[in-house]
Amino acid sequence: MSAAPEVQVFSDRLALARAAAEEFARQSQKAVSQRGRFLVCLAGGSTPLETYRLLANPPYSIELPWKRMVFLWGDERMVPPDDPESNYGQAQQALLQHVPVRPEQVWRIHGEMPADQAVANYVALLRQVAAPGQAWPRLDLVLLGLGADGHIASLFPRQSGALEAGKPVIAVLAEYASRPTQRLTLTPAVFNDARRVLFLVAGAEKAVALAASLDPASDPLHWPARRIDPPHGQAVWLVDAAAYKPPV
């Protein structure tokens, strides 16, 4: 049975980012000491960028086992990697170019390809990283943001779960905050196999979505975060005080 999600509330975005960087550090050291590598799935959006910047600087940039890490993405906007809207590009700028990570450790989603090819490419790549015979790897850490509309990665409210039908990666079309509408996303099947899922949520505009995402009575079809419940892992929410309204 899965453990109930844990919620940690911080005074502001910087305190949240510091806690997320600490969590990344702990989980990477633990995974490398236990299994020899750290499989981490990065999130897009603005919230994790401060965490990436902290990790790009000492002590983390010096002390963490960067050479043993494998980077994947939970979702990508269908734009080239050097586009300012690319999730890969943003992580590259904020973190990856500042730490000793080789290109072969970085498994980005190819946003510049036609969507069906990019899906096939990432499906093949997940299989390559996975244990023999498995369709996708068991991720050590998944970072996820939360949209003000409740989306996570590119799993949007009211998207049919039938679209997924056991697939690890799907292409979706969704309007949000003037961001690119064509996207690729991993599905809950992959996220729910993870050892640890870390949600990062900041800002008063997220308060309604956060409360609904944490409410065990809310509809998972409307609030996709409710579909994330790793049976052999732990979901942890790092949130700021502006986003968090304690249940009454």
Footprint on this chain of ligand 6PG (rule: CB under 6 A): 43-47, 75, 77, 87, 145-147, 151-153, 179
In whole angstroms, the minimum distance from the beta carbon of 156 to ligand 6PG comes to 9
| Shorter beta-carbon distance to ligand 6PG: residue 30 or 148 | 148
Sign of CA dihedral 240, 23, 156, 106: positive
In whole angstroms, the minimum distance from the beta carbon of 248 to ligand 6PG comes to 25
| Shorter beta-carbon distance to ligand 6PG: residue 32 or 43 | 43
Let me know: does 128 contact 39? Beta carbons within 8 Å.
no
In whole angstroms, the minimum distance from the beta carbon of 87 to ligand 6PG comes to 5
| Shorter beta-carbon distance to ligand 6PG: residue 65 or 211 | 211
Q: Which two tokens stand for residue 247?
A: 């249940």
| Shorter beta-carbon distance to ligand 6PG: residue 69 or 152 | 152
Q: Which two tokens stand for residue 23?
A: 């969590």
| Shorter beta-carbon distance to ligand 6PG: residue 32 or 187 | 187
Long-range pairs, 90-93, Cβ under 8 A, ≥24: 90/44, 90/49, 90/52, 91/42, 91/52
The phi and psi torsions of 101 (rounded to 5 degrees) equal -115, 130
In whole angstroms, the minimum distance from the beta carbon of 154 to ligand 6PG comes to 6
Let me know: does 77 contact 44? Beta carbons within 8 Å.
yes
Q: How far apart are CA 121 and CA 7, in angstroms?
A: 35
DSSP 8-state code for residue 245? -
In whole angstroms, the minimum distance from the beta carbon of 158 to ligand 6PG comes to 16
Residue 240: count other Cβ atoms within 10 Å of its Cβ. 23
| Shorter beta-carbon distance to ligand 6PG: residue 64 or 78 | 78
In whole angstroms, the minimum distance from the beta carbon of 100 to ligand 6PG comes to 26
